């Protein structure tokens, strides 16, 4: 037994050396997204000194070692902070301050603790953003990560189909078939055990397919063949999530892709046809989207829609009481109880008792106040502006423009989900966003640097 354990330890050391010595920050980020999505605590976890070690957290340690190695060898590329970096830091500083200065109150069973909510939802994705932001990224180093993401999308799509057809013996990991775990059982929810997170990952994979292989190699037959094979599969899986906000996100992606990837009359015809199709579809099936059968029934779906009004009413009443600093991070579900007894409205406020917030914008207002919400908005605008520079600058490369479109699409998808859900309870949602924003900012910084060098040569 000692010999086997020794051999396993030696193998782990060898692999650790290989992973640290030969790596790519984008590949590492893509693998982290897969690790946190496919191998959550339900798959495997080890308790060490009171801390839970999961696959994604173990991989995060590998990423830290990799970046340390890059710093030691000079492969990292530390960059001076820009305006968007400063605003992001100020938002995170306020977020941490409103966490540590607020008494950790009661927490809803089944949800992560306030501290883990902070780490998983905000700090871990921001760490990945900083890794990408301060790394050397060449256009050629994108493609391994692109391939990994597309393979990930194929896996998620096939898993969604197997879930809906109840082919549980073929579903991996097997815990996906356990109705007692997670939520949304009966819809496609993937290893995330939640349809919204599955849908966001599928939308991410769809955008990566179109902005990199298809757009960059539009004259190559293999790119269009790849799109013809994968696009219907990804769209089918998105449909099987039975989640309206995810469908809206996919619609936003189509609009942005048509507006950015087409030119002239083709763009006009494409957008015109889309508007016409949406108008006809709205007339025919629009009312059915408010209440349709999902994992429960039409009545429950309609009730879910009506609960949005209760969330909005209670949130605004709480915001009025503490408008500047808020109640503290992750405190909505704890501090809203007196407000649910309000009998001056006909809205059924009791329907949201015991629920976490379902609107991230209102959640920011209640938890962090106007200060936190404004910092979030300003930081977001600054980060998106980097993508706009990539898209509009005359010297921007094709890859930089692709990264800009990826950023536009994922910001739109994320913004839509924030209006219907609290998107910070796992690392998945913000990781997708931060990978897109980080990649766009790297190419923006390279573009500004190249422009400055060109100007100095001309002078």
212 in Cβ contact with 149 (< 8 Å): no
Which domain range does residue 217 map to?
Answer: 145-263
Domain presence at residue 349: no
Domain presence at residue 248: yes
pLDDT the model gives residue 5 = 47
pLDDT the model gives residue 101 = 85
The partner residues of 52 in beta bridges, in order of sequence, read: 47
Residues with Cβ < 8 Å from 156, sequence gap 6 or more? 190, 198, 201, 202, 205, 237
Domain presence at residue 363: no
pLDDT the model gives residue 458 = 53
**CB atoms closer than 10 angstroms to residue 293:** 13
pLDDT the model gives residue 276 = 58
Q: Which of 98, 74, 76, 94 is nearest to 86 (CA)?
A: 94
391 in Cβ contact with 404 (< 8 Å): yes
pLDDT the model gives residue 142 = 85
pLDDT the model gives residue 164 = 93
Q: Which of 395, 396, 427, 430 is nearest to 411 (CA)?
A: 430
**What does each C-alpha distance from 237 to 34, 54, 101, 198, 291 come to in angstroms?**
17, 27, 43, 9, 20
Domain presence at residue 211: yes
Q: 3-state secondary structure string, the chain?
A: CHHHHHHHHHHHHHHHHHHHHCCCHHHHHHHHHHHHHHCCCCCCEEEECCEEEEHHHHHHHHHHHHHHHHHHHCCECCCCCCHHHHHHHHHHHHHHHHHHCCCCCCCCCCCCCHHHHHHHHHHHHHHHHHHHHCECCCHHHHHHHHHHHHHHHHHHHHHHHHHHCCCHHHCCCHHHHCCCCCCCECECCHHHCCHHHHHHHHHHHHHHHHHHHHHHCCCCHHHHHHHHHHHHHHHHHHHHCCCHHHHHHHHHHHHHHHHHHCCHHHHHHHHHHHHHHHHHHHHHHHHHHCCCCCCCCHHHHHHHHHHHHHHHHHHHHHHHHCCCCCCCCCCHHHHCHHHHHCCCCCCCHHHHCCCCCCCHHHHHHHHHHHHHHHHHHHHHHHHHHHHHHHHHCCCCCHHHHHHHHHHHHHHHHHHHHHCCCCCCCCCHHHHHHHHHHHHHHHHHHHHHHHHHHHHHHHC
Domain presence at residue 130: no
N-to-C CA span, the chain = 71
pTM tops 0.85, yes or no: yes
| Nearest-angstrom CA–CA distance, 70 and 279 | 53
| Nearest-angstrom CA–CA distance, 118 and 83 | 23
**CB atoms closer than 10 angstroms to residue 322:** 17
**What does each C-alpha distance from 8 to 3, 5, 437 come to in angstroms?**
9, 5, 39
| Nearest-angstrom CA–CA distance, 295 and 290 | 15
- pLDDT-flagged residues of the chain (< 50): 1-2, 4-5, 9, 12, 299
pLDDT the model gives residue 359 = 87
359 alpha-carbon distance from chain centroid:
15
43 in Cβ contact with 173 (< 8 Å): yes
| Nearest-angstrom CA–CA distance, 410 and 436 | 7
| Nearest-angstrom CA–CA distance, 286 and 446 | 45
Domain presence at residue 416: no
CA neighbours within 13 Å on the CB side: how many for 206?
Answer: 29
Domain count, the chain: 1
Domain presence at residue 354: no
**Token reading at 386:** 């980097």
Domain presence at residue 125: no
pLDDT the model gives residue 62 = 84
Helix 244-261 to helix 221-240 angle (10° resolution) is 160
**Token reading at 314:** 């209670």
Burial class (CB in 10 A: 0-12, 13-18, 19+), 286: exposed
pLDDT the model gives residue 53 = 74
């Amino acid at each position: 037994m000692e010999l086997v354990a020794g051999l396993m330890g030696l193998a782990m050391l060898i692999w650790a050396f290989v992973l640290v010595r030969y790596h790519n920050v984008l590949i590492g980020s893509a693998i982290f997204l897969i690790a946190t999505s496919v191998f959550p605590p339900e798959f495997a976890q080890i308790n060490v000194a009171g801390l839970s070690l999961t696959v994604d957290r173990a991989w995060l340690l590998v990423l830290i070692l990799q970046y340390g190695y890059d710093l030691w060898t000079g492969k990292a590329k530390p960059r001076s902070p820009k305006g968007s970096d400063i605003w992001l830091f100020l938002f995170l500083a306020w977020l941490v301050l409103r966490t540590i200065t607020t008494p950790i109150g009661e927490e809803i069973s089944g949800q992560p603790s306030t501290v883990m909510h902070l780490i998983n939802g905000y700090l871990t994705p921001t760490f990945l953003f900083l890794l990408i932001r301060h790394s050397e990224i060449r256009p050629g180093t994108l493609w391994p990560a692109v391939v990994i993401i597309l393979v990930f999308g194929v896996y998620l799509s096939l898993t969604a189909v197997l879930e809906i057809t109840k082919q549980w013996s073929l579903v991996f990991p097997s815990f996906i078939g356990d109705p007692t775990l997670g939520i949304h059982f009966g819809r496609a929810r993937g290893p995330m055990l939640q349809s919204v997170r599955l849908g966001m990952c599928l939308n991410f994979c769809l955008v990566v397919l179109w902005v990199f292989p298809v757009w960059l190699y539009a004259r190559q037959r293999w790119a269009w063949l790849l799109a013809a094979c994968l696009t219907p599969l990804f769209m089918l899986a998105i449909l099987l999530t039975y989640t309206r906000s995810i469908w809206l996100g996919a619609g936003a992606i189509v609009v942005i892709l048509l507006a950015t990837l087409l030119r002239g009359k083709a763009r006009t015809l494409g957008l015109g046809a889309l508007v016409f199709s949406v108008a006809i579809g709205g007339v025919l099936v629009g009312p059915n989207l408010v209440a349709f059968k999902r994992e429960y029934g039409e009545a429950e779906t309609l009730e879910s829609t009506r609960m949005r009004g209760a969330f909005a009413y209670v949130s605004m009443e709480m915001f009025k009481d503490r408008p500047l600093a808020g109640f503290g991070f992750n405190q909505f579900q704890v501090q809203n109880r007196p407000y649910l007894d309000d009998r001056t409205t006909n809205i059924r406020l009791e329907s949201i008792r015991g629920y976490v917030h379902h609107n991230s914008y209102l959640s920011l207002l209640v938890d962090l106040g106007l200060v936190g919400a404004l910092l979030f908005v300003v930081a977001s605008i600054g980060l998106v502006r980097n993508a706009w520079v990539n898209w509009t600058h005359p010297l921007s490369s094709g890859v930089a423009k692709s990264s800009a479109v990826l950023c536009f699409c994922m910001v739109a998808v994320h913004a839509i989900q924030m209006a219907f859900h609290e998107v910070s309870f796992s690392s998945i949602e913000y990781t997708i966003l931060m990978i897109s924003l980080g990649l766009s900012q790297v190419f923006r910084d390279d573009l500004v640097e190249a422009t400055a060098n060109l100007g100095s040569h001309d002078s």
